[in-house]
Structure 1
Amino acid sequence: MCADTPNTQPDYKDTLNLPKTDFPMRAGLPKREPDWLARWEKIGVYDRLREKEGREPFTLHDGPPYANGHLHIGHALNKTIKDMIVRSHQMMGHDSRYVPGWDCHGLPIEWKIEEQYRKKGKNKDDVPVVDFRQECRKFAEGWVDVQREEFKRLGITGNWADPYLTMNFHAERVIAEEFMKFLMNGTLYQGSKPVMWSPIEQTALAEAEVEYHDKESFTIWVKFKVANEGHDLQGAHVVIWTTTPWTIPSNKAVVYGADYAYGLYEVTGTPDECWLKVGEKYLLADKLAAQTFARARLEDGQWTRVRDVSTEELSGLSLQHPLAGAEGSNGEWDDLRDFRAAPFVTDEEGTGFVHCAPSHGMEEYELYRDLGMLEQVITYNVLDDGSFRKDLPFFGGKYILNRKGGEGEANKAVIDKLVEVGGLMARGKIKHSYPHSWRSKAPVIYRNTPQWFAAIDRKVGDGRDEHGETIRERALKSIEELVKFTPISGRNRLHSMMLARPDWVLSRQRAWGVPLTCFTRKGALPTDADFLLRDPAVNARIAEAFEAEGADAWYKDGAKERFLGADYNGDDWEQVFDILDVWFDSGSTHAFVLRDREDGTEDGIADVYMEGTDQHRGWFHSSLLEACGTLGRAPYRNVVTHGFTLDEKGNKMSKSLGNTVAPEDVIKQYGADILRLWVAQADYTADQRIGDTILKGTADSYRRLRNTMRFILGSLGDFSEDQRVAPADMPELEQWVLHRLAELDDVVRQGYRAFDFQGVFQAVFNFATVELSSFYFDIRKDALYCDGETPRAHAARTVLDILFHRLTTWLAPVLVFTMEEVWLERYPGEDSSVHLQDFPETPAAWKNDALAAKWARVRQARRVVTAALEIQRTEKVIGASLEAAPVVHVEDADVLAALKSVPFEDVCITSAISLTADPAPQEAYRLPEVPGVAVVFEKADGEKCQRCWKILPDVGSHAHDAVCGRCDGALD
């Protein structure tokens, strides 16, 4: 044909049933998602779901985030997982409830208000406590409003109109009531023991408020002289090693190991610049002697072992503090130090002897507590701010830490004094893991201070003994028998923590929180039976006041007399003003959320608690302790744990490193659905990586899925119920799709029930993009576009309709915005929403394992054909697979029969195909992984149909020009 010859071929494009949809390929999520949020709020989706009757409740109880800043990527991960749990269970037929909440009390908010005061030159102590607390409340309220909108922007469903706040008056009442249950059941006590103390924040800290970082510490080897007159060891020195020189002024004892070998050693030579002298004798563990002398700069040959020293001999010795008799010490350290065996001594490091300051070490405290000797060994040398008491000789007023959390003067002052009095053998520095406050980031210390505790091994006098008599027994039984953990490692972690944990420190020395609502008798000791006032009438008055006025009622003038009433003389009682640990607040939420709210649970127990892995020592932990003390068991049936968020290289995110990813930024660039998809694609039980490259990959997966949904929508534009075909009347290919849907229905439901979102999404995504887009849709495009009103086309559209309802609902818990968009494209009614739907029931009869096995063989053979044709396409022999009519040689008779029983040319998207049992020639194409199938390429005979593009011999022999018989019939 010449270039200027007009094209006379007929154009049949308008006769094809091509996909028609307004659903755009470009999602435009950042701009469009807010419209869907507004729509859901307008039609009240969450409330309308609550109106569905006869459904089994399912409650995920929200671990409250802290109300003091914008959301970070960890918040987005956490809330998205929760949302997928809630939505998926709703769509599986539950009444799935989610009440968002916030933790509003505590030091971080108090700290912010104090910062504002300092900038204005104000002193917190000059402000009435109720006024200060009101400012804290306003600060928290502001951040609750900010975070609520940020969470909603992520597509999180829930009762946003009525969240729970730990600072609501009813919540404060219940927190106080829960505390008073410990008061009444006998587990509350006041004790003076070492607790982790933040000198910067001047309060006790719980383990959950502490994080561990490397810290460089001074390390010293200190000499304690044997004081026994007449003993041949008199004048020898026991040597201890410590990384906390500041505790030496509080030393009360030295301990040794009962099972270690000890010896007496003598210095026979010294190098220059050495604190040791020839002739001095030292008691050391044999295993550690050489390295101890090396630290003192002695070389081999400059010391010798004199003799064995048995532990029986050690037990008869008394020791002298190195500062004893020092000029100006005023006798502070002149008493002899106790010297005995202890189980916590190790011969792995140090000297084999351990210095004991029971005011600053829990193991030492417990040793002397069990010996009944605490009164002899407890000191109060360190004040709230981490300074030594003013009247302590040599060291009074010196700080362990400076006001910014760095090294203070105390350690150096102690070391210098020990050098001066000849009490030091060696010194150095060590880098080790050390506890820091997660708020101030400053190191903490162990400090003996009067605190309030819940005893976890004391019998709980509440009669709830079904799961144990003590808090520890109940907690362990809950972990072992009542709670399911995802992943299972969470069970082991929480169990080991609960086995080893000490009594729970409930008190904090701050102002913003729920006070410890109790009274102590003046002049009584904590061990006295009448030390604590236990009166239900007093408790009831406190609860009533808190309900009406909040916890501020405790601080108002006349509060003590008001609560004690006429039955007690206020002069006889002290009002406690410590506040409760905020972990007690959040640990009590089961009572005022699950138990007390209409949208709570009948038994006060949640189906799921879901938080990050750090909450095994945080909210999971405190909730378990609190509920075991008041409810008798764990307040949850499932504990689900996610990992931390890291950057793309696997590094911890840090503002200083500039590697943080803000949810707001991701939403502005990609949309919230991409962030949600990132969550669904990952194994959330491990640590998650996120960054630009990962998000681009997530966006690509999203586009592929969106393309699948767009094809379905386009192909269903003219579908009507009178076209619906019963499954039994469908071609095998459609029946195979239904079989796969039945299989997937099990995977989806089981996966969602097991909180396995990655497994659900991968299964659905692979089905949609591989089995559908690359196989079923690829094959059926021809019938959908070209068949006209035939049973085959109707069957295909019936299957597409079935696919539509399952894919949109199955994916709705993940892609909340996109699946709403897909749903509204077909069902645009004013009150329509995919989130009002349940997962469709999938008939078990759709499963057909025999058919699936047959089509697995068909698909294997198809792979060989398509691979063979791809070579011809690459070599430019053909441009499209419809130009081919390959010969397929099949060795297995059953496979050959299977291929002959289906329209295999349609399956392979060729114009024709020949199937034969003849042996394949040598040059035939084969795939090693599909034995017994070989393909010989042949071109299709005939002319190209101008409507369906198949090359067939009958083209041009029908009433309509240049079309095949099938298309000719469709045009009539």
Structure 2
Amino acid sequence: MNDLPSSPRDYRATVFLPRTGFPMRGDLPKREPEALARWEAMGLFGRLRADAAGRPPFILHDGPPYANGNLHIGHALNKIHKDLINRARQMAGFDANYVPGWDCHGLPIEWKVEEGYRKAGKNKDEVPILEFRRECRDYAQHWLDVQAEEFKRLGVEGDWANRYATMDFASEAAIAAEIHKFAASGALYRGLRPVMWSPVEKTALAEAEVEYQDRRDTAIWVRFPVVGGDLDGAAIVIWTTTPWTIPGNRALAAGPEFDYVVIRIADATEHSLARKGERLVVAAELLDAFAAETGITAHEVEQTLRGKDLGALVCAHPLRGQGYDYDVPLLLGDFVTTEAGTGFVHMAPAHGEDDFFLCRAHGIAVPETVNDDGTYAADVPLFAGLHVYKAADPVCAALTAAGALLRREEFLHSYPHSWRSKAPLIYLARPNWFIRMDGEEAIRAHALEALDRTAFVPDQGRNRIRSMVEARPDWCISRQRAWGVPIAIFVRRDDKSILTDPAVFARTRALFEAEGADAWYARPAADFLGPDHDPADFEQVFDIVDVWFESGSTHAFVLEARGMPWPADLYLEGSDQHRGWFQASLLEAVGTRGTAPFKAIVTDGFVLDEQGRKMSKSLGNVTAPQQVIDQYGADILRLWVMNSDIHNDLRIGKDILKQQADLYRRIRNTLRWVLGGLDGFTEAEAMPAADMPDLERYVLHRLSRLDAMLRRAVETHDWTGVYPAIHQFCNNDLSAFYFDIRKDALYCDVRLDAEGRLVAQSETRRACRTVLDILFRCLATWLAPVLPFTADEAWRARHGEEACVHLAQFPELPAAWRDDALDEAWTGIRAVRRIANARIEEARRNGDIAASLQAKIVLTFAVDAPEALRAADWAEIMITSAAETEIAAEPAGAGASAPLRAEPVVEIAPGEKCERCWKVLPEVGGNPAHPGLCRRCCTYVE
């Protein structure tokens, strides 16, 4: 409408042309930092808290990211999702106080500091521990500050001035106090049992610190000669994928309900190590596979025995005579399977949980054959000082020399590695501190009950974490490192019991609050023990606590210590945290308070590249949030998050980001069109919904449905599909439909004075402007949680530079706007419109018309077509200059065009073109004063 044709009189000044200061181009990389500075200057977070005073609280407790390196795309996904939920809750009438936090202790930071030492040729063991801890603290503080600025740049609103960190003195004191609670309850104990161990880092690892990578290893089949009894001279054969555990073997295990066969070898292939005439014992179910694998071509089954009948057997160690001169008893274990191997399992109690518990139950000692660094101990025959990673060849050579090796093969499998050092792990029995899952405290049982009371989004998360809690062993909370909170307890030297004196605990907490956990290393034991205990009678524990215990304790020093509601309304992290933070928080809180620290858990998927591959620098497929922000702006990244199915794995890349930028432009253009249409609008123009035309009431109905969808998401924390629905509404319902129809009335049904001020307008235009006002309030506030920069820019364009959308609330939409009957009627109208539009486009392509306003549309409806279709103003709906409705004698029946009974007909509209509204009408020229105008336009220019 901006390019009106020239005529003896220029009517352009009489037409309403939208005006707004909200530009078409977002220029987000430039404007977003300006918005951040504005929010900081106005003290936005403080104003939000002041405005929300007295409202119901909503607490999303922040799972702490690790203060190590720049943010990656997973961080962006996590914090954006949290920010949207917090902003939406705030705008829905809650007090959403969000305290961001960080994990600052643990091995990754130690590893980085040590890496600097290695490069400088410096020996960590020669650095005083307090100096080392200070360097770790400085490193963590640097990255905490960097990440905080990066999170702010994403538009994340929170109490950044009062963030929490696990290395804050108050936090360290609270963590020590939580350990003391477990000690006082009796749930904390020191025990020897195998744990996942990193020989490179020389410490135990939690399951959440383990990743799996492909590794080439050696599998072996080994003879264990039977000593005495009816099977004397036969050999039980085991299969293992860890040859390095053979020196630690102390027993064998069989399945009590399996059938086992004693076979005599008749023949074997040339390269087989099987000997003719020897007698071997294997599971009957695995015999054929065993024979094929070991090259046995002919054999005779001498005897079949039940597993439970083998329990009295005793074997010799396969390296007997070379320093391994002890008996190897055969035990019965329900964990033995016949999925692979021979049906027998060799037991190395220092290197496997099943091995450990079965051997301990039979009074078999646990040998310490492997050192912390993965080398064999000095008293291990044949292999002393050798690293277990390099033991396959020497062990196989020794077994071969002893005549015990039956077969060896190399294979590729998925094997646990440290996600920090990337080095392979081993199971190793070491004295560690554990929290008992069962027993009087019944932590496992209470945790499972708490999970049943927790809401999960998506719901399958409940089964995932539940199965992990059901199967997990006692919680190993000790680490043999230096950077962290020590397990600040004393153990009596005489009976090894824990000192649980409340005065000692209180003294320890007070010193930690004043000086941090460094006090444990800087002060003498007497300062903690006080006058009632002699330091000579106690061992001071210097193991540090697992970082998962620390982060699992954050509810204590963030929520409880700050007087915030407990439990939190929501925990939100990636799905990997079912075995990490969610579980650690659950077990810690249940063990100290009897219930979970959360009411609901939401999980996100992982971010992959556009081809569905895991991101890696080597593949060159990493999308860094900083790059996206520099090119597109944070709002585009935020829109990508909320347009994705975030509870499953997400994909991101150049093409996907371009698509999001296109979606953003459509949303921005919708806001711009609404703002332009509202130029000069005042509340005096507003019209009650009940007085509006059906089209406006239909738009309000569509708004009410979106409002219900959004409020359901606020309540359930499940935002799946909400913002795609809002985008579709902007694109399909508004831009391509409502705006298209109403722009004629908006532009032309108006009389303006010489200064462009409103003098008069039609009721239709008044209704339209009222709807635009409602649309703006809804869209700007609904979009604010996901597009905080853009929504606020639009809000200021409407309400002035001092206004801020984030201080607004979601509008309360009247229930009366919901009209399902009207929705059904307009659904039918829009279906017919799509069919008729196709014919108009065809006529345009054929050159029959240049624009729809040159057309007359003829629609033929069935006799039983709904009244809404027959009575509709089709010229207005189709944006043609004329329309004609015919009623056929036949009912609708079936068919793609029902209830149309004939294809729409496009004809040339009769009359002349109005120079103001461009409609082609017979009445044009009827007014001598305005010979180029239609009657409607004459009314508004006189």
Q: Give the shorter-chain TM-score range.
A: over 0.9
Are 1:588 and 2:586 counterparts?
Answer: no
Secondary structure of 2:236's partner?
strand
Q: Identify the match of residue 871 of structure 1 among 842, 864, 884.
A: 842
- Measured after TM superposition, the shift of residue 171 of structure 1 is 0.3
Check the 8 A contact 1:889/1:919 in 2, yes or no: no
- Measured after TM superposition, the shift of residue 935 of structure 1 is 2.0
Are 1:884 and 2:855 counterparts?
Answer: yes
Give me the whole-angstrom Cα distance separating, in 2, the residues matched to 1:595 and 1:370.
43
Check the 8 A contact 2:890/2:901 in 1, yes or no: no
Check the 8 A contact 2:274/2:295 in 1, yes or no: no
Corresponding residue for residue 729 of structure 1 = 691
Secondary structure of 1:566's partner?
coil
Give me the whole-angstrom Cα distance separating, in 1, the residues matched to 2:599 and 2:30.
40
Which residues of 2 match residues 265-284 of structure 1 at below 5 A?
265-284=263-282
- Measured after TM superposition, the shift of residue 432 of structure 1 is 1.9
Are 1:157 and 2:122 counterparts?
Answer: no
- Measured after TM superposition, the shift of residue 161 of structure 1 is 1.1
Give me the whole-angstrom Cα distance separating, in 1, the residues matched to 2:694 and 2:288.
83
626-635 or 268-277, larger mean C-alpha shift? 268-277
Secondary structure of 2:231's partner?
coil
Check the 8 A contact 1:891/1:932 in 2, yes or no: yes
Check the 8 A contact 1:226/1:238 in 2, yes or no: yes
- Measured after TM superposition, the shift of residue 313 of structure 1 is 4.7
Give me the whole-angstrom Cα distance separating, in 2, the residues matched to 1:152 and 1:503.
39
Are 1:21 and 2:20 counterparts?
Answer: yes
Corresponding residue for residue 77 of structure 2 = 77
Give me the whole-angstrom Cα distance separating, in 2, the residues matched to 1:188 and 1:618.
20
Secondary structure of 1:214's partner?
strand
Corresponding residue for residue 354 of structure 1 = 345
Q: Percent identity?
A: 51
Give me the whole-angstrom Cα distance separating, in 2, the residues matched to 1:872 and 1:307.
90
Q: Identify the match of residue 563 of structure 1 among 528, 532, 540.
A: 528
Q: Identify the match of residue 254 of structure 1 among 239, 245, 252.
A: 252
Where in structure 1 are there 5+ consecutive unaligned residues?
1-5, 402-407, 461-469, 526-530
CA deviation string 1:477-529 (max 9, x = no partner): 0111x21000011101001111111100000000000000111111424xxxx
CA gap of 1:275–1:869, structure 2 versus 1, over 3 A, is: closer
Corresponding residue for residue 597 of structure 1 = 562
Check the 8 A contact 2:861/2:870 in 1, yes or no: no
Q: Identify the match of residue 651 of structure 1 among 613, 616, 621.
A: 613
Give me the whole-angstrom Cα distance separating, in 2, the residues matched to 1:512 and 1:929.
74
Give me the whole-angstrom Cα distance separating, in 2, the residues matched to 1:946 and 1:562.
95
Check the 8 A contact 1:220/1:241 in 2, yes or no: yes
Secondary structure of 1:712's partner?
helix
Give me the whole-angstrom Cα distance separating, in 1, the residues matched to 2:479 and 2:359.
25
Secondary structure of 2:225's partner?
strand
- Measured after TM superposition, the shift of residue 122 of structure 1 is 1.5
Corresponding residue for residue 926 of structure 2 = 957
CA gap of 1:933–1:587, structure 2 versus 1, over 3 A, is: farther
Q: Normalised by the size of structure 1, how large is the TM-score?
A: 0.93
Check the 8 A contact 1:267/1:281 in 2, yes or no: yes
- Measured after TM superposition, the shift of residue 308 of structure 1 is 2.4
Corresponding residue for residue 316 of structure 2 = 320
Are 1:706 and 2:687 counterparts?
Answer: no
CA gap of 1:837–1:639, structure 2 versus 1, over 3 A, is: same
Corresponding residue for residue 3 of structure 1 = none
Check the 8 A contact 2:863/2:890 in 1, yes or no: no
Check the 8 A contact 1:521/1:574 in 2, yes or no: yes
Check the 8 A contact 2:706/2:726 in 1, yes or no: yes
Give me the whole-angstrom Cα distance separating, in 2, the residues matched to 1:344 and 1:592.
42
Which residues of 2 match residues 3-22 of structure 1 at below 5 A?
8-22=7-21
Are 1:344 and 2:335 counterparts?
Answer: yes
Secondary structure of 2:528's partner?
helix
Which residues of 2 match residues 122-271 of structure 1 at below 5 A?
122-228=122-228, 231-271=229-269
CA gap of 1:268–1:848, structure 2 versus 1, over 3 A, is: closer
Give me the whole-angstrom Cα distance separating, in 2, the residues matched to 1:7 and 1:747.
49
Corresponding residue for residue 452 of structure 1 = 433
Corresponding residue for residue 755 of structure 2 = none
Are 1:942 and 2:911 counterparts?
Answer: yes
Check the 8 A contact 2:173/2:509 in 1, yes or no: yes
Corresponding residue for residue 287 of structure 1 = 285
CA deviation string 1:168-218 (max 9, x = no partner): 000000000001000001100001000000001100011111112222211
Give me the whole-angstrom Cα distance separating, in 1, the residues matched to 2:512 and 2:7.
90
- Measured after TM superposition, the shift of residue 944 of structure 1 is 0.3
- Measured after TM superposition, the shift of residue 270 of structure 1 is 4.0
- Measured after TM superposition, the shift of residue 931 of structure 1 is 4.3
Check the 8 A contact 1:80/1:679 in 2, yes or no: yes
Which residues of 2 match residues 461-472 of structure 1 at below 5 A?
470-472=442-444
Corresponding residue for residue 421 of structure 1 = 402
- Measured after TM superposition, the shift of residue 853 of structure 1 is 2.6
1:800 maps to amino acid: L
Corresponding residue for residue 446 of structure 2 = 474
Secondary structure of 2:600's partner?
strand
Corresponding residue for residue 540 of structure 1 = 506
Secondary structure of 1:738's partner?
helix
Give me the whole-angstrom Cα distance separating, in 2, the residues matched to 1:511 and 1:388.
24
Secondary structure of 1:337's partner?
strand
Corresponding residue for residue 859 of structure 1 = 830
May I ask how many residue pairs the two structures share in their alignment?
924
Q: Identify the match of residue 968 of structure 1 among 926, 938, 941.
A: 938
Corresponding residue for residue 693 of structure 1 = 655
Give me the whole-angstrom Cα distance separating, in 2, the residues matched to 1:44 and 1:565.
47
- Measured after TM superposition, the shift of residue 893 of structure 1 is 4.3
- Measured after TM superposition, the shift of residue 899 of structure 1 is 4.0
- Measured after TM superposition, the shift of residue 431 of structure 1 is 1.9
Give me the whole-angstrom Cα distance separating, in 2, the residues matched to 1:657 and 1:764.
36
- Measured after TM superposition, the shift of residue 894 of structure 1 is 5.0
214-223 or 158-167, larger mean C-alpha shift? 214-223
CA root-mean-square deviation:
1.7
- Measured after TM superposition, the shift of residue 823 of structure 1 is 0.5
Which residues of 2 match residues 330-729 of structure 1 at below 5 A?
333-371=324-362, 373=363, 376-401=364-389, 408=390, 410-460=391-441, 470-480=442-452, 482-525=453-496, 531-558=497-524, 560-598=525-563, 600-601=564-565, 604-729=566-691
Check the 8 A contact 1:646/1:687 in 2, yes or no: yes
Secondary structure of 1:886's partner?
strand
Check the 8 A contact 1:485/1:640 in 2, yes or no: yes
CA gap of 1:338–1:930, structure 2 versus 1, over 3 A, is: farther
Which residues of 2 match residues 921-936 of structure 1 at below 5 A?
928=897, 931-932=900-901, 934-936=903-905
Corresponding residue for residue 757 of structure 2 = none
CA gap of 1:907–1:142, structure 2 versus 1, over 3 A, is: same
136-145 or 859-868, larger mean C-alpha shift? 859-868
Check the 8 A contact 1:518/1:576 in 2, yes or no: yes
CA deviation string 1:636-686 (max 9, x = no partner): 011000000000000000111111000011111111111000001100000
1:146 maps to amino acid: V
Give me the whole-angstrom Cα distance separating, in 2, the residues matched to 1:894 and 1:58.
51
CA deviation string 1:682-732 (max 9, x = no partner): 000000000011111111111111111111011111111221112122222
2:447 maps to amino acid: A
Secondary structure of 1:551's partner?
coil
Check the 8 A contact 1:779/1:906 in 2, yes or no: yes
CA gap of 1:238–1:844, structure 2 versus 1, over 3 A, is: same
Corresponding residue for residue 67 of structure 1 = 67
1:345 maps to amino acid: V
Q: Normalised by the size of structure 2, how large is the TM-score?
A: 0.96
